[in-house]
């Protein structure tokens, strides 16, 4: 009788050798919603933040014994206003039939198909929140089926003026000074001076230096790290602006920028792989 060779085995009868766990194609990414300060649970579909400004200082002098005139009296009501925003409800629907749940055993799935689907749905819910929080679109009132309520994304709050017919216009006091915003056609044309100008604008408006988290896309991160390079593309007469004596080994090059400190504050730089289209950096 002839021997059975491996090639002769019936594939329908052969036991397959399959790994007991999935290899993930990519990691979950929610840096902003993980790091951002959390507030109280909203008590209304419209939520509000009181904000206030300070009086502009001026040189004042009065004569000794001079009475207070009616024209001198002021109050701070004009220095206070309210920012308004909306909540947004989201969901990720999933379902598994009872027969599939009872009999649908799959490789690398532990605990049943329903639990496996719930795990991925929860991951998508968290990533959906990340996208929603950072988006460039405006808020929207809930008008029923087909027109759900939407919150205003962080990138849309960054406005120097209200666009035509916005939802819940931002009061003038809450608008972002134009110097806080830098428009660029691509990451490649954003310079160190552009970042410094934004930091200077923030410090000048707030009257203090800050320590800021900055989310940048991969291309922008490469540009920032490139600020410390001194060789590629420089003319022969150019001199490096910085000199580093970082200890290196014969087999390792360390080349990464995670912090940037200037006259106007400190930036902590985080690479973000799903910023809104056209947004290279969010401070």
Instruction: Write the pLDDT tens digit of every residue in 23-82.
Output: 999 999 999 999 999 988 889 999 999 999 999 999 989 999 999 999 899 999 999 999
pLDDT at position 232 over 60: no
Residue 229's pLDDT is 73
Nearest to 223 by CA among 249, 192, 185: 192
Residue 80's pLDDT is 96
Instruction: Write the pLDDT tens digit of every residue in 105-156.
Output: 999 999 999 999 999 999 999 999 999 999 999 999 999 888 999 999 999 9
Mean pLDDT of 205-220: 94
Which one has a higher pLDDT value, 191 or 237?
A: 191
Residue 247's pLDDT is 67
Residue 175's pLDDT is 96
Confidence of residue 180 (pLDDT cuts 50, 70, 90): very high
Percent of the chain whose pLDDT exceeds 90: 83
pLDDT at position 88 over 90: yes
Residue 250's pLDDT is 77
Residue 267's pLDDT is 95
pLDDT at position 4 over 60: yes
Q: Are 89 and 149 in contact (CB under 8 A)?
A: yes
Q: How far is CA 253 from CA 47, 214, 224, 249, in A?
A: 50, 25, 17, 7
Query: Residue 174 carries which DSSP code?
Result: G
Residue 254's pLDDT is 78
pLDDT at position 235 over 90: no
């Amino acid at each position: 009788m002839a021997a059975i060779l491996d090639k002769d085995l019936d594939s329908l009868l052969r036991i397959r050798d399959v790994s007991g766990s999935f290899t993930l194609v990519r990691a979950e990414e929610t840096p902003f919603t993980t790091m951002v300060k959390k507030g109280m649970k909203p008590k209304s579909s419209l939520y509000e933040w009181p904000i206030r400004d300070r009086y502009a200082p001026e040189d004042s002098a009065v004569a000794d014994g001079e009475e207070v005139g009616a024209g001198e009296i002021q109050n701070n009501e004009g220095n206070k206003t309210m920012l308004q925003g909306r909540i947004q409800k989201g969901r990720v629907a999933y379902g598994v039939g009872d027969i599939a749940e009872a009999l649908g055993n799959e490789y690398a799935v532990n605990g049943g198909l329903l639990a496996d689907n719930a795990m991925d749905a929860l991951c998508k819910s968290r990533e959906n929140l990340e996208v929603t929080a950072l988006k460039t679109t405006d808020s929207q009132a809930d008008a029923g089926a087909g027109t759900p309520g939407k919150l205003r994304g962080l990138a849309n709050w960054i406005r120097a003026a209200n666009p035509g017919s916005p939802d819940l216009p931002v009061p003038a006091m809450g608008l972002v000074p134009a110097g806080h915003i830098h428009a660029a056609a691509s990451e490649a044309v954003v310079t160190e001076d552009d970042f410094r100008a934004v930091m200077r604008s923030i410090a000048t408006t707030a009257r203090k230096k800050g320590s800021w988290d900055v989310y940048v896309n991969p291309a922008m991160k490469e540009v920032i790290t490139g600020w410390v390079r001194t060789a590629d593309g420089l003319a022969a007469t150019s001199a490096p602006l910085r000199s580093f004596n970082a200890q290196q080994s014969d087999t390792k090059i360390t080349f990464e920028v995670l912090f940037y400190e200037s006259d106007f504050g400190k930036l902590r730089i985080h690479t973000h792989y799903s910023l809104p289209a056209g947004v290279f950096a969010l401070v």
